[in-house]
Structure 1
């Protein structure tokens, strides 16, 4: 039995439904990311789990207990917001201790827990400083420590890194994941940043227009997207137009070149149908095919961007274009815009896009 269960959750504001029949089972100690664009409903689901929004219908249970009708302070949940939300008139130690004092814990227990939490986030040497004396990353770590101090059953993180610069975001997300693993706390992390979700999650819930489009491990979400939206939103994607030449044998045509793919991917399609294919940039290579499973297409270089260790290339294949990266080789200069080239890809890497 799952530790946190969300069943048939729905939320409407007047005539507008922002979450449609949302279902999810989360195991104890699992790190789940809600990933999607702004307005897709991910924060609304998080707020319903926290108790800040009341579901229009549905059920939320934690540890087998239905919490829908419980107030936020009765759910034993810790929450970290995008804004640090620290008390400016309190020191770091006092901020971390706040929830424990509200719960009327003994002073000795409060002191011990504050010391433990500040050691966990490696800020015990800043215990007497005030929030204005800290960097953004340090303030967010204090907010995390405050949320963990009450030993919640579930930790909710609502885009906690979006206000930080890129370098600090990377280090802090790794720190959050390490702390979560150490404590074994069940965690939901809301983000619109695909790289964050892919790098730290056990599973990802990709949301779109109030629905869970796909739920799965990062590897599955990236390599086997279940819809056109998931394929385009998660990672960089090339989209190619193709025509089915022989649905029975799985032969399609891309810019005049016949390619044989797994015919089961063409279920429901017939000869002459136009379809859309997707291929990840890392599945495209510059040069002739070197394997019998690969296909070579004729292309012309549109643009070349030198990024140091990586060179990003965009090439036209006729009616289609593809973007891909190649590693910098000091002894082999990259092609120039306008140059005719050969581009290769493997049929098994082509995804037939659905809805």
Structure 2
């Protein structure tokens, strides 16, 4: 049985439906990320789970208890917001203690729990400071401690790292994941940042226009995207127009050159146009022997990026990008130079839906 179950969840604001019949199950102790662009419905789902928004229809169950119509304080949920939402007139100690005081815990219990949380976020020396005296990363740690102090059943994180600079984001996401594993708390994390989602999650729920596009592990989402949206949103991807020449054998023609997948093309017929996806890291320079695929083209662009050289290869009507490591003893290829790229049969992704 799932720890958190969302069934046919829908939310409508006037004539705009932002969440459209979402079904989702989260296991106890799981770290699930809702990933998608702005306006896809991910934060609205989080707010409905927290009780800050009431669903237009559908149900939310925690440990098989229907909490759909309960108020936020009745759900035992901790939430961390993008903008920290700390009380500016309270010290770090008092911010962390706030939820415990609202729950009418004893003074000794509050003091012990606050000390525990300060140690957990490694900020015991800052207990008497005010939010304006803290860095952004420190403020977000305090917000996290305040959410965890009440020992919630579920921790909800609404883009908590987006206001921080890149270096702090990386270190804090590692801390959040380590804390989540240490505490074993069921967590839902909302972000539009694919790197955050891929590096932190047990599973990722990719959303678009109020619906779930794909649900799976980071490995599955990145390596086996099911739709054009997922393929283009998660990671860098080359998407080419292909024409099926032999569905059963998995043969596809790209710009007059035939490539072979490692599986049959179920649902496609000979002559159908399909969208073919290739990750840049799957492509290598040079002609390969054996079962690998080869495509002949011309160097279109070369961009030197330090440790990486990004090369764009044009065929007839389409082009692909690939990255190679910089080698000081080998000059990068030049524009206009004929070139062959190769890739394995298993590296070809034929996406669902129309070619374009």
TM-score, length-normalised on structure 1? 0.97
Matched, 1:29 2:37: no
Q: 1:38-187 maps to which residues of 2 (within 5 A)? A: 38-187=38-187
Residues 247 and 263 in structure 1, CA contact (< 8 A), matched pair in contact too? no
Residues 259 and 294 in structure 2, CA contact (< 8 A), matched pair in contact too? no
Matched, 1:277 2:276: yes
> Secondary structure at 1:264's aligned position in 2?
coil
Output one character per residue of 1:301-355: Cα deviation in whole Å (capped at 9) or x when no partner. 2222222222111111221111111111111111122222121112221111112
Find the counterpart in structure 2 of residue 305 from structure 1.
Answer: 303
Find the counterpart in structure 1 of residue 342 from structure 2.
Answer: 344
Q: CA deviation at 1:145?
A: 0.5
> Secondary structure at 1:215's aligned position in 2?
strand
Q: CA deviation at 1:272?
A: 2.3
Moved more, 154-163 or 337-346: 337-346
Structure-2 separation of matches of 1:235 and 1:173: 19
Q: CA deviation at 1:124?
A: 0.8
Find the counterpart in structure 1 of residue 285 from structure 2.
Answer: 286
Structure-2 separation of matches of 1:47 and 1:263: 42
Q: 1:160-309 maps to which residues of 2 (within 5 A)? A: 160-262=160-262, 264-265=264-265, 267-289=266-288, 291-309=289-307
Residues 241 and 276 in structure 1, CA contact (< 8 A), matched pair in contact too? yes
Residues 277 and 348 in structure 2, CA contact (< 8 A), matched pair in contact too? yes
Structure-2 separation of matches of 1:249 and 1:197: 35
Output one character per residue of 1:129-164: Cα deviation in whole Å (capped at 9) or x when no partner. 111111111101110000001110000000000001
Output one character per residue of 1:103-146: Cα deviation in whole Å (capped at 9) or x when no partner. 11111111111111011111111111111111111101110000
Find the counterpart in structure 1 of residue 330 from structure 2.
Answer: 332
Q: CA deviation at 1:269?
A: 2.6
Change (3 A) 1:338 1:187: same
Structure-2 separation of matches of 1:153 and 1:263: 43
Structure-2 separation of matches of 1:294 and 1:283: 11
> Secondary structure at 1:104's aligned position in 2?
coil
**RMSD between aligned residues:** 1.2
What residue ranges of structure 2 are gaps of 5+ in the alignment?
A: none
Corresponding residue pairs, total: 353
Structure-1 separation of matches of 2:137 and 2:280: 33
Q: CA deviation at 1:7?
A: 0.9
Structure-1 separation of matches of 2:70 and 2:238: 47
Residues 8 and 57 in structure 2, CA contact (< 8 A), matched pair in contact too? yes
Change (3 A) 1:263 1:122: closer
Structure-2 separation of matches of 1:121 and 1:338: 55
> Secondary structure at 2:264's aligned position in 1?
helix
TM-score, length-normalised on structure 2? 0.96
